[in-house]
Amino acid sequence: MNAFAKVQARYGSPLTAAVLLASVLIALGGRPAPAQDVKAWRHGIVEAKSDAGFVFMARNGGFAQKQGLKIDLVQFKGDALALKAMLAGELDSYEGSPGGPMLAAAHGAEIKIVGCFWPIPNYGIFAKPGIAGPGNLQGKTLAISAPGALPDLLARAVLEQNHVEASEVRFTVMGSDTDRYRALAAGVVDAAAASTEFVPLAQLAGLRLLVHAHDAVPNYLRFCTYTASKTLATRRDQVVRFLAAEITALRYAIANRDATIALAKEISEAKPDDPRAAYIYDEVARYSSIVPEMPIPKEKLDWMQALLVKTGNLDKTFDLAPMIDDSARRSALDLAGNK
């Protein structure tokens, strides 16, 4: 069996096999690490959606193997569950909104932010047609997620901006973006926080995007990458190599639209005519939502901590400096090649 056939057998689609094989042989160059040198790395992610082409590229495109890692991506309904799994030692790292980690760190959890690759949220609040704006959410049922996660904090920030008391809205916690959108489409709830990948489906269903997070909360950080302080201290080289794999994979994904969309559709098992993967890719490109070099924007973290205090999730602010470690990312850039 030749190299292409082996890749196709593993990943399915001939198009995906071709572009992913090319990413290994051309974009990266060189040979993968010998099998005996490959280290396992368990990374938590939010349940795969139409943006999976970005999230899965490091694993599926050979970028992790180039760094001597075998990434096991563990999917969760929400990033709050991934945080708990990491703190329990079940994950080496995970990606999600900074809200939950800040709340955990405020109570003594040893967590490090090692990079932020998705600083601009492609996210919003969808609603039934009769709801004209955020100010009309009083008395309505709004689907969110666990406290401190993106859907929860976005909803509360939007309500606060529009002078709507949280007590005037009926919140219901639902696991994933897909769960929340389906509940809205079925009429179970009046509004829902979810990825903007659902915009093309919402238009067909007569629903509307009430608020886009890019406009409502431009300082909101969608995804940063976290690891436990102990993991960073004892396995720093692997943290660096994981970040290098992520950086090179994201650079490739942004530069290769067809490959990224094909991988997203394969991972999410989307039908050929499903418009969501292409829509979210183009929106990411339009807003420059993803920054492959994963800089850690301190000013946005400060803003988010202030938001947690405003929403009552935190009693008071605390020093974020012990949470932030930029040294591993800087070393990863040396491996990945600075741009």
The stretch 318-327 carries a mean pLDDT of 97
The Cα 186–Cα 57 span in angstroms is 33
Using the structure block, give the residue that is written with the tokens 């050929």.
Answer: 272
pLDDT in tens, 145-204: 988 788 888 999 899 889 999 999 999 999 889 999 999 999 999 999 999 999 999 999
Same fold, 3-120+220-336 and 123-213: yes
Under CATH, which number does the domain 123-213 receive? Answer: 3.40.190.10
Using the structure block, give the residue that is written with the tokens 């509307």.
Answer: 208
pLDDT in tens, 238-273: 999 999 999 999 999 999 999 999 999 999 999 999
- Strand 191-195, strand 141-144: pairing: parallel
CA distance to 82, 253, 255, 282, per residue, from 225 (Å): 11, 18, 22, 23
- Given a cut of 50, whether residue 87 has pLDDT beyond it is yes
CA distance to 47, 261, 279, 322, per residue, from 273 (Å): 21, 12, 12, 47
Query: How many helices (DSSP H) and strands (DSSP E) are in the chain?
Result: 17, 10
Class of domain 3-120+220-336: alpha beta
- Given a cut of 80, whether residue 85 has pLDDT beyond it is yes
Burial per residue of 323-337, b for 16 or more beta-carbon CB atoms within 10 angstroms, e otherwise = bebeebbebbbeebe
What was the pLDDT predicted at 216?
87
- Given a cut of 50, whether residue 5 has pLDDT beyond it is no
Residue 296 CA to its chain's centroid (Å): 15
In the chain, domain spans = 3-120+220-336, 123-213
pLDDT in tens, 98-116: 999 999 999 999 999 999 9
